[in-house]
Structure 1
C-alpha cells in the first residue's frame, strides 16, 4: 500500500498582522528617539560644563600669577571720557587665558599691543578652539563678520565663541569702563574684591549663536554686533558685548533678563540646553541655573560686592 505524503499549509502573515507589527515598531521607535536625543543632549551639556570648568581653572591659574583675574578686554579710548569711542587693541579675557588653556604656542603669537584686525594678528583671531564652543549651540556656522554702524566691513574671519564673562548688572554698552561684576574694560578684579563670596558670584555663562555672536578673541573697535536675523528680538550693540554679558537691572533697564529669556538681546545669556544655562562661578564651580530662577536672585549673583545674601538652594 502506498501512502501519499501529508501536506500542511504554511501559514503566512495577513495584511492586518503585518500592519500591526509595523505600527508597533513605529511606536517603539517614537518612544526610543526622545530617549536617544535626551541622552545626547545630556552628554553635550556635560561637555559644555567641562569647557567652563577648564576656563575656571585657567582663570585661577592666571590669578595665581597675576594677582587678579584677566581684564574683560584691554583698550584705549579717543578721549578720557569713559564713554569715548574705543581705539583698541581690544584683546579679550579669552586670549589672555590661552597660556593657561594648554595653548602656549598660540599665546606666543599674540602681540597684545597690536590691533586684532591687522594681518599679524590673523593666526590667533581665526583659529577655531573647541574649548570655547558649546556643542549644543547652533544658529550660525563659521567665523564672525563685523561691520561698523555705517556698514563698512571691519573683520570677516573672527573666531566664534559661546562663553561670555560676567560684567555685572549694568548694561555693557553704557558702562564699559566700570560695572559691579568681575569683568569690564581694563578691569583688574581679584578674589579680594569679591566680597559677596566666590561661590555665589558669576564668572561666565553661555550665549548661543542662534541669539547673537560672541567671541573669545576680543573687541573690534568701532564695530557693532547684532542679534541673529532669525531671532525674535532685533537689536545692535557695541562689540564689547561679544566678550561680556550682564543680567540687569540697569539705570535705563529696570528688568532682569534671566537665562533663556524670550526677549534676550545681544548682551544676555542664552543656551540651547532645555531649561537653562551652564554658569561658571568665581570659585571655579559650574552650575546649571534654570530659566525659572527668581530674577532678583539671578541679578544678585552677578554682583561682586552688592551685599546681597544668597544661599545655594535659591538657584
Structure 2
C-alpha cells in the first residue's frame, strides 16, 4: 500500500474547528460522554461534523464538495460522522499519545475505506483485537469496534481508549458535568502536567517582562480549561473560555494576572503604533490611531469575568474582528510556522548525525558516501548504511548490498523511505530527500580515503557534515548521489530556511543556523575539514 498520511480521515472533523460551541452555563440535558476517555487522559475534544454542516449558518458552504472529497480521499461521507472525539494522553517515552473515536450514523466496513490510508493491507492482532496499521506517526492503528464506531490509536494508546473510563480520572469525572452542544468542545485538566508547565514557565521567567511574570502562577491556580465556540452566522462565531480555578481566591488572583498581562499587551501595541505619530504622512498617522483603538478594543474584549471559582472569557467575535485578528496575527503565525518547520527539520538532522556517530563508534570510521562493488561502481547511498542506527534494521536487511539502488530487487525499497530523511515542508517526491552529506575533495566525506573524525583537523564543531538542499536538488534517498558542492558558491544548492538561514549539521552532532550574509571565505572554511582556516562566527 502507498505510504499516505492518514490525516485526511480527521479532515472532515477538523474542517469545523472554527465552529466550536459550548456556553459555560447553559442548561442543557445532554452532557459530554467520558465513555472512551481513559483515566490518565489530559484532554478531550468533541465535535459533531454532521450537525455543524447542517446548521443554517452553513447553508452556503460547499457541503457537496466536502462530501465528495471525504468519499474520494477516505471513503467516508462527513455527513455520516455523528461524533468525533479526540483524546490526548500523557506524553510517553516515544512522544505524544492519543487517539480519535469516530462514530457514524450509518454502517461502515474496513472495505469502504480508501486502501491508500493503510500502511499494510492485512490486519494485525493487538491484545486480541484486529487492528490495521495506518500511515502516519509510529504505532498508529485503526480498530473497528463495531459497524458504527472506528477508533484510531496513536502511540500504543488504542487499548486505553477502547477500555475507556474506569471512573478514576479527573478528566473523566469532569466531562459528564459539561453540556454537549453542536460544534466542538475542548476540555483539558492540568493536574498531571502542572509540575511540567510550572517548571517550563519558571525556567523562562527571567526573559519575561516584569508585568507578565505572574503567568508563572497560572498552572498552580487552575484545575481545568474548557474552550467553547459556536457558529453565530456565516463567517462568524461565538467563543467562550472557562478556567476552573482551585477556589474563589485563586480565581481572583488569576484574573489579576491576566488583566496585568492584557494591560501590558495593550501598552506595548500602543507604544509601537505611536512611534511614527509625528510623521507628516496623514495616512500613517491615521493607521497608527486605528492600531491604538483596535488594540484597546481587542485587549478589553479578552478580560476575564469572575464567577465563583471560574474565570469566563468571551472575546469579541464578529467577522470584522476576526479579519482584524488574522491581519494582526498573520506575521506571528507565519514566523511560528517557520520556526516549527526548522525545529522539525533540525530534529531529522540530529537523528541522522547521531546515527553517523554510532556508526563511527562501531566501525571506527564514517560510512562511505557511496556503497560500491569490488570494481568501484557506486551501488547504494550512505543512507542505507545507517539504517540500523535509525531503528530500521529490518529495512536494511531487505537491501541486496551487492546490487545497485535501481536493481529489480532494490528499487521497490526506495518507496519505504524512513521519516528521518523526509523534510517536513519541502515539496519533494515521496522517495526523495534533501539531507545530503558534504562530499568532495577535502570535505568531510572524501571518497579517496576512509573518513574518520580524527582526520578533521579544523575541529568537528567547525566542519559541516550534513546539508539541507533545496527541493530542486533532492535525490532518491537510496541512490548513491549527493549534490556536489561548488566551493566557489557552496550554498548555491541549499535550502533557505525560515529566518533567512541555512541549517547545517556539524561533525560534533550539532545543528546550527548559518545566516545568509555570512562571508564566502568563512562559509568555505566551514566545509573544509582540514583547511587550517580560522573560523570566526
TM-score norm. by structure 1 comes to: 0.64
Larger radius of gyration, structure 1 or 2?
2
Paired residue for 1:217, among 473, 478, 488? 478
For 2:368 and 2:483, the matched residues in 1 are separated by 11
8 Å CA contact retained: 1:247, 1:299: no
- Extract unaligned runs of 5+ from structure 2: 1-317
1:111 maps to: 400
Unaligned runs of 5+ in 1: 1-20, 79-85, 143-158, 169-178, 220-239, 250-255, 259-263
Tell me: CA distance 1:64–1:257, structure 2 relative to 1, closer, same or farther (3 Å).
closer
2:420 paired residue among 118, 131, 134: 131
Question: Taking structure 1 as reference, are residues 186 and 75 closer, same or farther at Cα in structure 2, changes over 3 Å only?
Answer: farther
Aligned residues: 220
- Higher helix share goes to which structure? 2
Contact map agreement 1:94 1:217 (CA 8 A) in 2 = yes
- Alignment partners' CA distance in 2, 1:257 and 1:68: 25
Partners of 1:187 and 1:101 lie apart in 2 by 25
CA contact (8 A) 2:462 2:526 kept: yes
Over 3 Å counting, the alpha-carbon distance change for 1:206 and 1:196 in structure 2 is: same
Distance 2:503 2:327 in 1: 29
Q: Post-superposition shift, 1:39?
A: 1.3
* Match of residue 88 from structure 1: 378
Matched, 1:60 2:299: no
SS of residue matched to 1:167: coil
User: Aligned partners of 2:413, 2:362: CA distance in 1, in Å?
Assistant: 23
Deviating above 6 A after TM superposition, structure 1's stretches of 4 or more consecutive aligned residues are none
| Residue among 476, 479, 487 paired with 1:248 | 487
2:433 to 146, 153, 161: 161
**Cα separation, partners in 2 of 1:110 and 1:77, compared to 1, 3 Å:** closer
Match 2:495 to one of 252, 262, 270: 270
Cα 1:245–1:280 shift into 2, 3 Å: farther
What is the aligned counterpart of 1:296 among 513, 521, 525?
521
Does the 8 A contact of 1:247 with 1:302 survive in 2? no
Give the secondary-structure state (helix, strand or coil) at the position aligned to 1:246.
coil
* Contact 1:109/1:123 (8 A) holds in 2: no
Could you state the TM-score of these two structures normalised by the residue count of structure 2? 0.39
State whether structure 2 residue 439 is matched by structure 1 residue 181. Answer: no
User: 1-side partners of 2:337 and 2:478: how far apart?
Assistant: 29
Paired with 1:126 and 1:297, the residues of 2 have a C-alpha distance of 38
- Structure 2 CA distance for aligned equivalents of residues 66 and 105 of structure 1: 20
Aligned-partner SS, 2:437 = strand
Partners of 1:67 and 1:106 in 2: CA distance = 23
1:198 lines up with 2:437 in the alignment: no
Alignment pair present for 1:49 and 2:349: no
Establish whether residue 310 from structure 1 lines up as the match of residue 518 from structure 2.
no
Q: Which residue number in structure 1 is paired with residue 371 of structure 2?
A: 74
Question: In 1, Cα distance between the equivalents of 2:373 and 2:466?
Answer: 24
